[in-house]
Amino acid sequence: MELKDRILQEAGMLFFNNGIKSVTMSDIAESLGISKRTLYEVFRDKDDLLESCVNAHLNRADCEMDAMTHSSEDVIDTLMRIYAHHLREVRDVQKSVLRDLRKYYPQIYKKIEIRQTEGHAVFKPLFKKGAEEGLIREDINFEILFWLVKAQFKALMDDEFIPTDKYSTDQFIRAIILTFIRGIATPAGHKKIDAIMANLEKQENKQN
């Protein structure tokens, strides 16, 4: 692995696990076992490194979204995977990270919002495909449905709005599946949801 990629991987982990403000360039250099001089030869400053980490994270997210869209069995499976992926990201990122980005790095935070909005474009064709497959109800306004999806994911980025300290990520996933996704699904879609949920419960029981 090239030095730049090693730095991005380690710095990203430190930022996302510990919060942005609490991590210094010295911390990153020490964690990597390199000198600060070497670190500054690759990245101009902490802002430059942070933006590169965010870009790398967004690019990985795009690839993961594309993989989920193309590897899923059907639209219901795709929707459930996307929601689960986003909710687990909320769980895995230190709460202070998004707060720090909003307060101290508004330009980078704005970029995240823009990329997220662009990524939501995948939902429109998904809803249409789901209706064609007989899994998503046709009597729902897809434009309004798309707006509701965007509102949900925007709320997930607000750590003060979603009480992740009170409820587990899995509880949020189940609640969204049982209300929103099940609400837009047809009876055939409900069967798909029930089958996926039953399979998840089996996997959880095996792990326990």
In this predicted model, what pLDDT tens digit does every residue of 155-192 receive, in sequence order?
766 666 666 677 766 677 778 778 889 999 999 999 99
| Confidence (pLDDT) at 39 | 97
Q: Residue 185: beta bridge partners?
A: 136
**CB within 8 A of 174, min separation 6: which ones?**
197
* pTM attached to this predicted model: 0.77
Q: Are 4 and 42 in contact (CB under 8 A)?
A: yes
**Residue range 1-71 in CATH 1.10.357.10:** yes
Q: Which residue has the tokens 């750590």?
A: 159
pLDDT category of residue 105 using cuts at 50, 70 and 90: very high
Per CATH, 1-71 and 74-208 having the same topology is answered yes
Confidence of residue 134 (pLDDT cuts 50, 70, 90): very high
pLDDT of residue 162: 63
The set of residues, in sequence order, having a beta carbon less than 8 Å from that of 52 and lying 6+ positions away, is: 8, 43
Q: Which CATH architecture has domain 74-208?
A: Orthogonal Bundle (1.10)
The region that residue 72 occupies, defined by phi over 0 for left and psi between -120 and 50 for alpha, beta otherwise, is: beta
| Domain extents in the chain | 1-71, 74-208
Q: Is the pLDDT of residue 136 over 90?
A: yes
